[in-house]
Amino acid sequence: MKLAIRKSDIIDVLSKVQGLTGRKSNLAITTNVLVRTMDSEISIVATDLETGFEGFYPAVIEKEGSMALNARKFFEIVRDFPDEEIKLNEIDNHWFEIGNAHVEYHIVGMNPEDFPDVPRIEDVQFLEIESGVLKGMIEKTLVIGAVDDKRAHIIGAYFEKLIVDDKNVIRLVSTDGSRLSTVDHVYESGVDLPVEGGVLIPKKGLNEVNKFLESTGTVQIGFKDNHFIIKKEVETIVIRLLEGEFPKYGEIIMKREGNSIPLNRQMFLMMLKRMSILASDDYKGAIFKFTDDNLTITSTNPDIGESKEEMEIEFSGDPIEAAFNPKFFTDAAGAIDEEKIVVDIVDEEKPCLIQGLEDKRFLSVIMPMRV
């Protein structure tokens, strides 16, 4: 194997696959990237056995072949390489020479034949979606990350297609058991995504997808053979779906006969930030007290002290006093792009809903804490 590549063509992809190759695995070779030659380009493959990536990049091929190199060291060599052109040459027995006339590395690789197969999914019916839209959906729902849990509905995000107000909608839903977020996107009819009843996509796989999504342009998404496929021009990511059931969440997100309170998002965020200063792993909660045109948040930590802050609001119902984790409100409000948000609360026992004042595509539900 002998070839020449341009640093600018592969530096970005080598950086982005570090999340896949850096994961712990029973197979040591998954810390490597697989590089294969074909005509006038190379393919770069990475996998953590759950999520697989393959991309194609230009190269000058003198001798065909393949190699498996440690992804971290290969990235660091390319990142700090002083010149644009980098030559790769297989010496003997999976040893490779990387460099040029002035800089030279001798790196030992692994047997490329031992690299696990990344599924090649054919005949997929794709839905084209704006890259920025998909990126936003992932970021808004995965504010709720995968906690240390083995349950599929906690470590996975729920993807489903719906008909809402006679419109085709795809929805992404995430929960950690204490809160839930949903985000919707209306898509054009004519594309039938083969998703029956919804599927569970691993959150860590979606996080890897997010690294490859730009704010402009389009991508294609599809489902086939128990996999979620995301396709760009020269790059494809395939994620194996999780097996399990997602909780019936429909009633939780329904608007109730409660109190809809408009708030200035930035003022509310800063208030929450100040009330979280005294929080710790043992004392995460704060008391939210809603009275006539007033919200008071009180935070108490016996190990540090206590804090209290008031804000004028539009509220005229019966007084409500409930305990919540302020960080959950911070995450929810931070995912909304509007100046005004709406907090919908019924009482101290029912979940609290948060949405933008105008844009209702994103919804966050926060459960009260027991104190």
pLDDT, tens digit (0-9, with 9 covering 90-100), for 298-332: 999 999 999 999 999 999 989 999 999 999 999 99
Residue in this structure with the two tokens 């034949």, named with its chain if needed: 113
For the chain, domain boundaries: 2-114, 127-250, 255-366
Determine the pLDDT at residue 370.
81
pLDDT mean for each 10 residues of the chain (371 residues): 96 96 89 94 96 97 95 97 95 92 94 92 88 96 82 94 87 94 86 77 95 94 92 95 92 84 96 92 92 95 94 93 95 95 93 94 93 66
Task: Kindly give, in sequence order, each residue whose CB lies less than 8 Å from that of residue 215, ignoring residues fewer than 6 positions away.
Answer: 131, 132, 135
DSSP assignment string, 311-366: EE----SS-EEEEE-HHHHHHHHHT--SSEEEEEE--SSSPEEEEESS--SEEEEE
CATH number of 127-250: 3.10.150.10
Average pLDDT of the chain? 92
CA angle 326, 331, 336 (to 5 degrees): 125
Identity at 189, one-letter amino acid code: S
Distance CA(225)–CA(228), nearest Å, equals 9
Q: Six-digit token pair at 195?
A: 């998703």
DSSP assignment string, 282-310: S---EEEEEETTEEEEEEEETTTEEEEEE
CATH number of 2-114: 3.10.150.10
Residue in this structure with the two tokens 């290969």, named with its chain if needed: 74
Per residue, what are the HEC states of 79-97?
Answer: HCCCCCEEEEEEEECCEEE
Q: Six-digit token pair at 92?
A: 């003997």
Count of alpha carbons within 13 angstroms of residue 188, beta-carbon side: 6
Identity at 49, one-letter amino acid code: L
C-alpha 125 chain-centroid distance: 23
- Same-fold call for 2-114 versus 127-250: yes
Count of alpha carbons within 13 angstroms of residue 350, beta-carbon side: 16
Residue in this structure with the two tokens 């979620």, named with its chain if needed: 228
Q: How many residues does the chain have?
A: 371
Residue in this structure with the two tokens 């959150």, named with its chain if needed: 203
**Termini Cα distance of the chain:** 65
* Cα-Cα-Cα-Cα dihedral sign, residues 108, 113, 115, 121: positive
Q: Note the pLDDT tens digit of each residue in 90-133.
A: 998 899 999 998 999 999 999 999 999 988 888 888 889 999 99
Query: In Å, how far are 201, 205, 222, 269 from 227, measured between CA atoms?
Result: 9, 11, 8, 38
Residue 182 and residue 363 in contact, taking contact as beta carbons nearer than 8 Å? yes
Distance CA(304)–CA(114), nearest Å, equals 54
Backbone angles phi, psi at 131, to 5 degrees: -60, -40
Q: Which CATH number is 255-366's, of 3.40.50.720, 3.10.150.10, 3.30.930.10, 1.20.1560.10?
A: 3.10.150.10
Identity at 150, one-letter amino acid code: K
Q: Six-digit token pair at 362?
A: 């994103």
Q: Six-digit token pair at 103?
A: 């800089």
Determine the pLDDT at residue 191.
65
Determine the pLDDT at residue 217.
93
